[in-house]
């Protein structure tokens, strides 16, 4: 079968299953299977697919008809312009989470001549320390380390399978980053200047889509109002000898007022809000 005919046939197959991105998904899977990029595939509609290639992609398409996320089928995803290994043990990093990296880079302690208290870190000769809490695939923390060379980043998660995925990505980018099994901050006494927190925040009774049903529920749901883990995190923060300078969180915008109240009770103020992300500055 020619490439053009197969794209038409496979797109109709996914459309019938209610996949809204049918044609794009077919092209992506064809890229993976043939080793040709989509520009080449579209420019060579007469190209004959091998029987072996057709059999391989058909297995992948059947998985997609069950609304399994494309990233799990491929075993990889893109975040902040980089490719990360992904397993079904962790959430696929969302585009809205990329906003957190931009806000992190804009913090005063990373700006030359900044007057923020965080500037004591480089002056004292130690790197700015960052913890990615509930790291999952490690995408946030690893991206922070790559975008801000010289920072000291650690990845924390309670799930051993998530830590395996994070370690795989640490190794992929050949970074020296500690991957720590921890219930939020409980397993470490180290002081962190910044916490990156994309914790489960979906309320327990919230109706998720079919694709999200393939993702680990423990990484999605956060209690009746979705903020149980954030309450525990800020409670842990208040008990530490030295509090982080900044805590960056992700949550639904409608949850922001409640999350702001939790942060304020712990002595933090809102420094910035952008889409799903809130930046809290410490006391």
98 and 229 co-located in one domain: yes
Q: pLDDT by residue (tens digit) across 233-245?
A: 999 999 999 999 9
Q: How much is the average pLDDT of 115-139? A: 74
Please indicate, yes or no, if residue 56 is contained in any of the structural domains: yes
266 and 196 co-located in one domain: yes
CATH of the domain at 128: 3.40.50.150
Please indicate, yes or no, if residue 73 is contained in any of the structural domains: no
130 and 270 co-located in one domain: yes
Percent of the chain with pLDDT over 90: 86
48 and 188 co-located in one domain: no
Are the CB atoms for 208 and 217 separated by under 8 Å? no
- Taking 60 as the threshold, does the pLDDT of residue 113 lie above it? no
Q: Render the burial of 196-235: b for 16+ CB within 10 Å, e for the rest.
A: bbbbbbbbeeeeeeebbebbbeebbbbbeebbbbbbbbbe
Torsion of CA 122, 123, 124, 126, to 10 degrees: 20
How many residues does this entry show for the chain? Answer: 283
Percent of the chain with pLDDT over 70: 95
Out of 33, 66, 99, a domain closes at: 66
CATH of the domain at 48: 1.10.8.10
Are the CB atoms for 256 and 265 separated by under 8 Å? no
So what's the pLDDT on residue 92? 92
- Taking 60 as the threshold, does the pLDDT of residue 209 lie above it? yes
- Taking 60 as the threshold, does the pLDDT of residue 122 lie above it? no
Strand partners, 250: 277
- Taking 60 as the threshold, does the pLDDT of residue 20 lie above it? yes
pTM of the model: 0.90
- Taking 60 as the threshold, does the pLDDT of residue 114 lie above it? no
- Taking 80 as the threshold, does the pLDDT of residue 34 lie above it? yes
Please indicate, yes or no, if residue 84 is contained in any of the structural domains: no
So what's the pLDDT on residue 111? 74
- Taking 60 as the threshold, does the pLDDT of residue 184 lie above it? yes
Confidence of residue 125 (pLDDT cuts 50, 70, 90): low
So what's the pLDDT on residue 68? 94
Please indicate, yes or no, if residue 233 is contained in any of the structural domains: yes
Sign of CA dihedral 155, 161, 164, 165: negative
So what's the pLDDT on residue 115? 40
212 and 263 co-located in one domain: yes
- Taking 80 as the threshold, does the pLDDT of residue 219 lie above it? yes
Please indicate, yes or no, if residue 157 is contained in any of the structural domains: yes
47 and 107 co-located in one domain: no
Q: How much is the average pLDDT of 245-257? A: 97
Please indicate, yes or no, if residue 71 is contained in any of the structural domains: no
114 and 235 co-located in one domain: yes
47 and 156 co-located in one domain: no
Please indicate, yes or no, if residue 20 is contained in any of the structural domains: yes
Q: Render the burial of 18-30: b for 16+ CB within 10 Å, e for the rest.
A: ebeebeebbbbbb
Structural domain count, the chain: 2
Q: How much is the average pLDDT of 42-53? A: 93
Confidence of residue 42 (pLDDT cuts 50, 70, 90): very high
62 and 96 co-located in one domain: no
So what's the pLDDT on residue 123? 53
148 and 203 co-located in one domain: yes
Confidence of residue 112 (pLDDT cuts 50, 70, 90): low
Please indicate, yes or no, if residue 76 is contained in any of the structural domains: no
Are the CB atoms for 177 and 170 separated by under 8 Å? yes
Q: How much is the average pLDDT of 269-280? A: 97
152 and 256 co-located in one domain: yes
So what's the pLDDT on residue 66? 94
Strand partners, 155: 132, 179
168 and 212 co-located in one domain: yes
- Taking 90 as the threshold, does the pLDDT of residue 124 lie above it? no
CA–CA separation, 279 and 251 (whole Å): 11
Whole-number mean pLDDT of the chain? 92
Domain hosting 195: range is 90-281
Confidence of residue 118 (pLDDT cuts 50, 70, 90): very low
Long-range pairs for 70-78 at CB < 8 Å and ≥24 separation?
A: 70/21, 70/25, 70/28, 70/29, 72/214, 73/29, 74/28, 74/29, 74/32, 77/137
- Taking 90 as the threshold, does the pLDDT of residue 117 lie above it? no
Higher pLDDT, 91 or 119: 91
- Ordered alpha helix ranges (H), the chain: 3-16, 22-34, 38-43, 51-65, 70-74, 98-105, 120-123, 139-147, 160-172, 228-238, 256-265
CA distances 31 to 3, 24, 40, 49, 241, Å, are 11, 11, 9, 12, 52
């Amino acid at each position: 079968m020619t490439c053009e005919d197969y794209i038409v046939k496979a797109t109709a197959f996914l459309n019938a299953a209610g996949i809204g991105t049918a044609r794009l998904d077919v092209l992506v899977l064809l890229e993976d299977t043939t080793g040709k990029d989509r520009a080449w595939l579209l420019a060579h509609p007469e190209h004959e697919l091998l029987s072996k290639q057709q059999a391989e992609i058909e297995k992948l398409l059947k998985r997609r008809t069950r609304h399994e996320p494309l990233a799990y089928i491929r075993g990889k995803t893109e975040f902040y312009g980089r490719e990360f290994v992904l397993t079904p043990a962790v959430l696929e990093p969302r585009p809205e989470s990329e906003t957190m990296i931009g806000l992190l880079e804009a913090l005063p302690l990373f700006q030359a001549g900044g007057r923020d208290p965080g500037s004591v870190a480089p002056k004292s000769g130690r790197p700015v320390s960052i913890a990615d809490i509930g790291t999952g695939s490690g995408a946030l923390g690893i991206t922070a380390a790559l975008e801000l060379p010289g920072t000291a980043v650690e990845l924390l998660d309670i799930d051993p399978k998530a830590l395996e995925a994070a370690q795989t990505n640490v190794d992929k980018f050949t970074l020296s980053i500690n991957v720590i099994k921890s219930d939020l901050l409980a397993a470490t006494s180290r002081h962190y200047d910044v916490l990156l927190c994309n914790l489960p925040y979906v309320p327990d009774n919230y109706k998720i889509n079919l694709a999200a049903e393939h993702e680990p529920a423990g990484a999605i749901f956060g209690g009746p109002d979705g903020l149980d883990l954030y309450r525990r995190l800020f409670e842990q923060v208040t008990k530490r000898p030295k509090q982080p300078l900044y805590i960056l969180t992700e949550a639904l915008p409608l949850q922001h007022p409640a999350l702001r109240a939790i942060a304020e009770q712990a002595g933090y103020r809102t420094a910035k809000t952008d889409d799903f992300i809130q930046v809290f500055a410490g006391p």
